[in-house]
Structure 1
Amino acid sequence: MTAVDPNLLSNARSDRVRQVAALGRRAVRDKQGLFLVEGPQAVRELLRYAAPATDALYVTEAAAARHTDIMGLAEEAGVRAHACTEQVLAAMADSEAPQGMVAVARRVDVPLEAALDAVGDDGFAVVLTNVRDPGNAGTVLRGADAFGAAAVLVSAASVDVYNPKVVRSTVGSLFHLPVSVGTPVPELLSACRARGIRLLAADGSGPTSLPDVDLHGAHAWVMGNEAWGLEPETLALCDDAVAIPIQRAESLNLAMAATVCLHSSAAARH
C-alpha cells in the first residue's frame, strides 16, 4: 500500500484546501485545467484508466485503511497520497459525503477528431446538444459507457462535464471512453456527417419508431435540451428523427430516453 504523506492536513482554512475547494467553480476549472474527483469509486476508476491525469490525492486515514486497493493503484501510478482530517476533506469536496477521498485531476477530454476516430465505421455515439442538467449529462455518459458507445460528444453551451455533479453522476465512466467537449452544434454534426456517421435525432414527435430503425453501421444519437428538446435547425441537420414508443407516460426525460436508445444500439450488435 502506498505511504500516506505524514504531514497531516488539518487546517480547513489553509491555502491548499481553499485551492482544491475552488475547483467547484467553472471559472477556476477552466483556468487551471483541473477538476475534482470525489469518492472511492470515481477515484478508483481515475487511477485504473487515467492515472497520468491524476494531479493529487487527498485521503483520510480511515479511508486509506479501508481502500487498500485504491492506495495500491496510487502507488503504482506514482501518485502521492496526502493525509487529511475529515473536516479538511469536507471543506475540499463539493458533495456532502465524499467518503474519505478526493482527487484532483487534469482534464481528460479528447479532440473531436479523436472521438470520431473511435466511432469508426461501425460504432455508435451520443451527442448532447444544449444539455444543461449535470445529473442528466452524467447519467447519459454512464449509460454510453455501460452499453458500449464509442464516444460521447458534448456540444458548446452544454453543461461542463467537469462540474462535480456530472463527475459524480458518471461514477467513473468519464474515464472509460473518449469524451469531446466544446464544439458548436452545427460544426459537431457536420463533422459527424463528414465521417459517414448517421445522425439520429431522439424526438418524441419523430416520424420513425425506434423498433424500425436500422442501427447497424456508424451512427450517433442526438439528444436535445431537457426543457425544449432539439431545435429545428438541429433536427434539419439529422438524417432521421426517432420516437421511442411509450404506453402511458406523457414522455421520458433526457437520461431515460438516451438509455433506451443506447441500449437499442447495443442490442443491434448482438
Structure 2
Amino acid sequence: MANPRADRVRAVAALARASVRTRRGQFRVEGPQAVREAVRFAPELVRDVYLSVAAAQRYPEITDDASTAGVHTHLCSPDVLTAMSPDAQGVLAVARPDEAAAADLFSSGRPPQLLAALAQVRDPGNAGTVIRAADAAGADGVLLSAGSVDRHNPKVVRSTAGSLFHLPVIPGVDLAEATAAARSAGMQVLAADGAGQTGLDDADLARPTLWVFGNEAHGLGAAERELADAVVRIPIHGHAESLNLAMAATVCLYSSARALQAS
C-alpha cells in the first residue's frame, strides 16, 4: 500500500475521532509495543495490522503472531503509516472493542483481589498510565466511570503500552453499583484523596480492595467519597504539594499488591 490518499488510509486516520470509533466499532492501536501485545494477547480483537517494510523486518514477532492468528497484515510505505497516524512508528493495527462488563469481574470463579476505578478521569495520559500501573501491580481490572475519557482514545491506548490487552478495562461503570458488587464479593472500597483521614501506611491493605481514584483537577466528589469504607491519603514526606493521579494510583496499587502477597 503506497497511496497515502487512499480511502482505506483515510478511514484509519478518521479513527482518531471518538464519533467515528463509536459508529464503526473500531479503534487504532499505534506503535510496536502496543500492537505486539494486541496480536499476542488479544488477536481475536485485531482486524488488520499495517507495517512499513522496515518495521516488518525489525519486529518479525509481530508479523509471526499476526500470521499465526490469521490477522490480515499489510505492508505500507512510510508515507501511508504517517497519514494513518503520526504516532504509528511504522506499526499500526485496527481493532474492535472487547465486550467485557463490570459484572464479569465479580461472576468468575475467582473473586477479584485488586481493582482500580477511575471516577471522572478525563486526561488520556493519566488514564492510560493508571491502566498500565494496574496491570503491572497484578490488578484484576480497571473500571472507568461514565464521564471518564474513552478507553480507546489513541493517547490512552498508547499510554497503556499494551496493558489495555492484558486485563479488563470496562467503560461506563456506575460507581455505586460497582462498589456494591465489590463488597458483595468480599472486597473493601478505599478512596484515594489527599484530604483522607487514614494514612496509607495505616490502612489494612491485606484485604481484597477496590481503589477509587478521582479527577485530575478536582479529585473525588463528596458522593464518591461516601461510597468508600475509608478515604486514604498518601503521606508526603518532602515539600511536594501532592502527587498527580497516575503517581498516586501507582503507589496505592503497589502497596495493596505487596500487602496481598504477604498475607
Question: CA distance change for structure 1 residues 16 and 121 in 2, over 3 Å: closer, same or farther?
Answer: closer
1:14 counterpart residue number: 6
2:73 equivalent in structure 1: 81
For residue 58 of structure 1, the aligned residue among 33, 39, 50 is 50
Task: Give, in angstroms, the shift of residue 120 of structure 1.
Answer: 4.5
SS, match of residue 102 in structure 1: strand
Q: Which residue of 2 aligns with 1:193?
A: 183
CA–CA distance in structure 2, aligned partners of residues 53 and 188 of structure 1: 26
After superposition, residues 1-270 of structure 1 pair within 5 angstroms as 9-93=1-85, 96-108=86-98, 110-117=100-107, 120-121=110-111, 123-247=113-237, 248-268=239-259, 269-270=261-262
Rate the CA distance shift 1:153–1:17 in 2: closer, same or farther, 3 A.
same
Q: Deviations over 1:74-113 (max 9, x none)?
A: 11001121111111111111xx342211000011251111
Distance 1:23-1:48 versus aligned 2 partners, 3 A rule:
same
Alignment partners' CA distance in 1, 2:94 and 2:15: 9
Partner residue of 1:5?
A: none
Amino acid at match of 1:26: A
What secondary structure is seen at the aligned counterpart in 2 of 1:126? Answer: strand
RMSD: 1.4
CA distance in 2 between partners of 1:63 and 1:42 (Å): 14
- Alpha-carbon distance change, 232 to 209 in structure 1, aligned in 2, over 3 angstroms: same
Separation in structure 2 between the aligned mates of residue 52 and residue 11 of structure 1, nearest angstrom = 28
Matched position secondary structure for 2:252: helix
Instruction: Flag structure 2 segments of 5+ consecutive residues without an equivalent.
Output: none
Q: How much has 1:165 moved relative to structure 2?
A: 0.0
Aligned mates of 2:73, 2:232 — CA distance in 1: 48
The whole-number CA distance in structure 2 between the counterparts of 1:235 and 1:255 is 19
Separation (CA, whole Å) in 2 of partners of 1:253 and 1:49 = 30
* TM-score scaled by length of structure 2: 0.95
Shift of 1:68: 0.9
How far did 1:195 drift? 2.7
Whether the aligned pair in 2 keeps the contact of 1:202 and 1:243 (CA below 8 Å) is: yes
Equivalent residue letter for 1:214: D
Per-residue Cα deviation, 1:106-142 (whole angstroms, up to 9, x for no partner): 1125111112346944611100000000000000000
Relative to structure 1, the CA distance from residue 137 to residue 16 in structure 2 (aligned partners, 3 Å threshold; closer, same or farther) is same
